[in-house]
Chain A
Amino acid sequence: MNFTLDISQSAVATLTFDYPGKRINKLDSVALLELKEQIDSLAKNNVVKLLVFRSAKKDTFIAGADINEIKDLLSEEQAYKAIRTGQLILNDMSKLPFPTLAVINGVCLGGGCELALACTYRIATDNLNAIIGLPEVNLGIIPGFGGCVRLPKLIGLQAALQLILSAKPVPPKKALRLKLVDHLYNNELEESSVADFIERLVNEKSFGKGLIKRRSISSKKFQQRILEDNILGQKLIFKKAKDNLLKKTKGQYPAPLKALDTIEKTLNLKTTEALEVEARVVSELVVSVISKNLIQLFFTSEALKKETGITEAKIEPLIINQAAVLGAGVMGGGIAWLFSKNDIPVRLKDIEWDAVSKGYQTAAQYYGQLKKVHRITENQIRVKMNHIAGTVNYNGFKKINLVVEAVAENIEVKKTVLAEAEAQLSEQAILASNTSSLSITEMADNLQRPENFIGMHFFNPVNRMPLVEIIPGEKTSQQTIVTLVKLAKNAGKTPIVVADCAGFLVNRILISFLNEAALMLQEGGVVTEMDHALEAFGLPMGPFVLADEVGIDIGYHVAKVLEQAYGERMKVAGLFTHLFVDEKLLGKKSGVGFYLHKGHDKSYNEALDKIIYTYRFSNGITAKAFNREEIVDRCILIMVNEAVKCLQENIVKNPAYLDMAMILGTGFPAFTGGLLKYADNRGLADICDKLNQLAALYGERFLPAEQLIEKANNSGKFYN
């Protein structure tokens, strides 16, 4: 039983939602049917004065619809039926012969929010952790239980678009300001404040009217009124929203555009007709590949939230409350920033104070960015910056429980620094290296306590990149792994445990891509065309823009490490070597790379034409032309193949984690679902064929990995 109904002596009916066996409420098909029964019987009740809809779960009203059920919807008709059912139940609820009140006691998302929207009144807790919103477009669909229809009517067109298109839920205070809820109650005095509110609603005639008047047009801001209340203004709003969306999504994510379109179509329709339009659009989207991809990613991220990094459940993570970072470069400064932001005091050590100050600058810059968007105040920054203590010696290291090394990417330097630091630390302290490609096991050679040593690879810039690769070496203990996984999660990052191989997971795959792009360039590719083709595929940056951003020197050094480890298939492109070693191109940091950089502007570096031409000439290469399909196939499939090799070697736990790592670590487009999901969707047999063709033309590195062949032959998939 999901619902219990209680009718008080004062004729107030309370319908309490208590999803059996879970910590949260969700609207699955069973719950919806039960709700229908309740609503149907209440509709016939002519005593009830008010229906109060409540949740029995702590801090959750309704978390949304059941995403598993959404995932399993495969035909449009089946989807339409399911959505229509839910939609109509809520519609019946909105038409009950007495007013309804939703008491939002916490998380209220998606279908839950739409249920609240179908009520006459909504009140919410002032608990700071509560969130209210419609995040459907994140899953490649749009609100389908009347959200697209009811929200604009309630809070105005612009605010509704903001809420639905951004998919960002709002905290209670903002919900009150938007008039999404009518009142906030004191979370700690829930029982009495809600009871008082209900009593006034039932007994004071003007009270309910006052609440509704508060939402009405006349209380809207003047500017909002002149734009939203006429067709021309509405047209303008829709046009602007569409332009913004196209810019943001590059047209690759259809859901927000469809949401916009649906709201535009239904804005001036009667509710019943509008609901029908909404249901049609949702059922079309819900079966789309992109939605399925995004839903898979949602499940992956839920799984990663629960991931401890180890199999043994009994090992508890250590508490990290004093940290240190060795090396105050951009990465070191960024990692120190992350600790300070999470209120972990951190000692930032370098050899010289001038180097230390660079780390402070990075941290201050990241705080500055947060302040600009009002996410932090000057006073809070002062407190947090005080968590960072610069130093050029090892004072205080005995009290530290985690040291992250972020010095130059040179194994000898790292080994020396790590051994030196270890000697200063207590027995329990964990030592981590933020290496991007060097072997963790080898680095542990000189250490007295290799069990306390681990790789913790952050991505640049630390404040924006969510991924952290956690790399246990041969001797790393389970305790060390579980501690760092927990720490990274607490710091708001997504840790993924990967095995210790050259380049680890993300850089290993990414470098194969950059190198392939360089090979194509030397064979006749054109820098800007290749960048455009791959950006059109969905990558946030083409390979050459990316190389400039990362630094051609850094890319080259990592590529060399990989060449050494993997041999022929990762052999660094001759042109790549030429550009770095002979031409000394560095990329954005020096202003000159594949592009010329001036501030935020960049233009193609014309001087490259001659360099490349000369290179081809002196190496006897006749330039070939490539079309977009060839560019995408070579650059993306080389990654798919490398990804499968990583799976074969157990570099990562499963295909889903691999895909998430590439999405979070390199910005690989989420709508594709990730590299392996992309392969699944395209068909593994097709991928194998294509790889064989490419191998015949361009070399053995394209020969499909064993697991790929095996799965293709058995019509298998990476995702089941």
Chain B
Amino acid sequence: MKERLAIVDGIRSPFCKSGTSMANILADDLGAVIVKELIARTEIDVSLIDELIFGNVGQPANAPNIARVIGLKAGLPLDVIAHTVHRNCASGMESVTTGYDKLLAGNASILVAGGTESMSNLPFNFSKKMTLVFENVMKAKSLGQKLSAISTLRPADLKPVISIVEGLTDPVCGLSMGQTAEVLAREFAITRAQQDQFALQSHLKAAQANEAGFFTQEIHPIVLPPNYSQVQFNDNAIRPDQSLEKLAKLKPFFDRVAGTVTAANACPITDGAGAVLIMLESKAKELGYSPLGYLKEYSYAGLQPERMGLGPVYATSKLLDKTGMSISDFDLVELNEAFAAQVIANQKAFESAVFAQRYLHKDKALGVLDSDLLNVNGGAIALGHPVGATGTRLIITMLNALRRRNKNSGLVTLCIGGGQGAALALEVE
């Protein structure tokens, strides 16, 4: 057995729907606030930190290698190196597992990992044609040349390329993420009503957890620029008053004719950041920390891009093989809610022997994902999914949930755009 990774402590920002209260704080600044607070909370001597690893999906042009920008803005010493990782929706998890590998290999002893995303600030870009015209105008020497360059413009060229739409569309299969959820809804025959019911539960569970103050232990409030007159304390996408009637009112968004996936039974586009202080178990002991929890093992798996939502089944299958654990060994499960259809599809696949035989080369089904143990504090449908940060939040939220319930073992799993899945085995003791 390899040594476990200690997650000494973890905090996150509130998760806010894009274009709402955190729209004016950029991904690097948000990440820096969280890293800074993590350092204050753990009182780690910053000179002991070897590296900062951060996940970020829509990497901003003005903060290349955003991890380095975050490190410097958070006040880490200049010699603390930093790099950014990208595994789409699992980037905030990748930062932790990459860190774990570095620690195991002896290439570092103390790391800060995390993820940040400001989907509010993903830019609108000029079209290729428009960019070319700009270049020609800049190159042109005379007014005549300038005018002639401009004259090649057509109204259609003015249409912007929206990065968030591009980013959420698979370049290989050509489907948007929502459309991949429609693929799963069809494959597993999941009705609109089932999806809406799931979405409702997510909101109700999240609202209850929020009401009970469950999230306050992991959320660091954000004083909001540019005016700093408001403070964001909580996730703002949770709807305590969500109902089936309200959910039923929405039209399908990705397949407008015969689809079942709506904006309300999918996760909203969100801004947020999270960070954890990580080191091997022995190091944490040496420094006298009592860690929030441990990562025991992890795996990533690949599958067809158009079925990316099933990533959790594939990744968990590998994780079980690696650890010799079975599904029933886990006290709680966090399965990221990109889409209600996708979570339900995973539940069905987990308990299907046919699926296991056909896709996982196993005789028996992986096991049942008990709805009572799944996403007990709600999930991304209610809390939001800032793609670069979600992976970090899932780890923090799972460990807090286990502690709150006096349980020990948790499975955190997540589907990844592009056709991958991630699965982590976490423990508190």
Contact = CB atoms under 8 A, between A and B. Distances in A.
Interface string A381-411: 0110111011100011011000000000000
B227 A361 contact: yes
A389 B37 contact: yes
A398 B40 CA distance: 9
B41 A396 contact: yes
B227 A364 contact: yes
A382 B223 contact: no
Contact of B75 (A353, A382, A387): A387
Contacts of A361: 227-229
Contact of B32 (A360, A386, A391, A399): A386
Contacts of A399: 40, 43, 45
Nearest to B230: A357
Interface string B25-42: 010010011001101110
Given A396-B39, A398-B43, A353 B33 contact: no
A391 B221 CA distance: 9
B127 to A, nearest CB: 27
A357 B228 contact: yes
Interface in B1-44: 26, 29, 32-33, 36-37, 39-41, 43
B225 interface: yes
Contacts of B225: 364, 385
Interface residues of A, number: 22
B233 interface: yes
Contacts of A357: 223, 228-231
A347 interface: yes
A282 to B, nearest CB: 50
Given A389-B37, A396-B39, A353 B228 contact: no
B144 interface: no
Contacts of B26: 382
A684 interface: no
Contact of B29 (A353, A356, A382, A390): A382
B288 interface: no
B226 interface: yes
A363 B227 CA distance: 10
B228 A364 contact: yes
A354 B221 CA distance: 11
A364 B40 CA distance: 23
Interface residues of B, number: 24
A363 to B, nearest CB: 8
B228 A386 contact: no
**Interface majority SS on B: helix, strand, loop or mixed?**
loop
User: Which of B45, B225, B230, B231 gathers most chain A CB within 10 Å?
Assistant: B231
A386 B40 CA distance: 14
Nearest to B40: A396
Contacts of A396: 39-41, 43
A386 B33 contact: yes
Contacts of B29: 382, 385-386
Interface in A155-197: none
A361 B39 CA distance: 24
Interface string B110-142: 000000000000000000000000000000000
A345 B46 CA distance: 13
User: Which of B29, B40, B227 gathers most chain A CB within 10 Å?
Assistant: B40
Contacts of B403: none
B221 A353 contact: yes
Contact of B40 (A347, A360, A387): A347
B74 interface: yes
B231 A356 contact: yes
B205 interface: no
A387 B73 CA distance: 7
A167 to B, nearest CB: 36
Contact of A389 (B40, B43, B228): B40
Interface string A358-374: 00110110000000000
Contacts of A395: 37, 40-41, 43
A377 to B, nearest CB: 12
Contacts of B39: 396
Given A353-B231, A361-B228, A390 B74 contact: no
Nearest to B39: A396
Nearest to B28: A382
A398 B32 CA distance: 20
Interface string B62-75: 00000000000111
A353 B232 CA distance: 10
Nearest to B232: A353
A356 B229 CA distance: 10
B64 to A, nearest CB: 14
A391 B40 contact: yes
User: Which of A356, A396, A398, A399 gathers most chain B CB within 10 Å?
Assistant: A396
A383 B29 CA distance: 8
A383 B73 contact: yes
B138 to A, nearest CB: 23
Nearest to B75: A345
A345 B41 CA distance: 15
Nearest to B221: A353
A540 to B, nearest CB: 30
Contacts of B233: 353
A717 B321 CA distance: 93
A363 B32 CA distance: 18
B41 A353 contact: no
Contacts of A398: 43
A360 B75 contact: no
A469 B350 CA distance: 70
A354 B39 CA distance: 23
A176 B28 CA distance: 38
Contacts of A387: 75
Nearest to A386: B73
A387 B74 CA distance: 7
Nearest to B46: A399
Contacts of B74: 386
Contacts of A390: 221, 223
A360 B231 CA distance: 11
A137 B404 CA distance: 71
B202 to A, nearest CB: 28
Contacts of B45: 399
Contact of A353 (B37, B43, B223, B227): B223
A390 B232 CA distance: 12
Contacts of B40: 347, 389, 391, 395-396, 399
A390 B39 CA distance: 14
Interface in A432-465: none
A347 B37 CA distance: 10
A389 B33 CA distance: 7
Contact of B231 (A354, A386, A389): A354
User: Which of B37, B41, B223, B229 gathers most chain A CB within 10 Å?
Assistant: B223
A14 to B, nearest CB: 42
Nearest to A361: B228
Contacts of B41: 395-396
A133 to B, nearest CB: 35
Nearest to B228: A360
Interface of B: 26, 29, 32-33, 36-37, 39-41, 43, 45, 73-75, 221, 223, 225-231, 233
Nearest 9 CB-CB pairs, A to B? A396-B40, A360-B228, A395-B40, A386-B73, A353-B231, A345-B75, A361-B228, A395-B41, A360-B223
29 contacts: A345-B75, A353-B221, A353-B233, A356-B223, A357-B223, A360-B223, A361-B228, A361-B229, A364-B225, A364-B226, A364-B227, A382-B26, A385-B225, A386-B32, A386-B33, A386-B36, A386-B75, A389-B33, A389-B36, A389-B37, A390-B221, A390-B223, A391-B37, A395-B40, A395-B41, A396-B43, A398-B43, A399-B40, A399-B45
Interface of A: 345, 347, 353-354, 356-357, 360-361, 363-364, 382-383, 385-387, 389-391, 395-396, 398-399
Given A385-B225, A398-B43, 9 more contacts: A356-B223, A357-B223, A360-B223, A360-B228, A382-B29, A382-B73, A386-B74, A396-B39, A399-B43
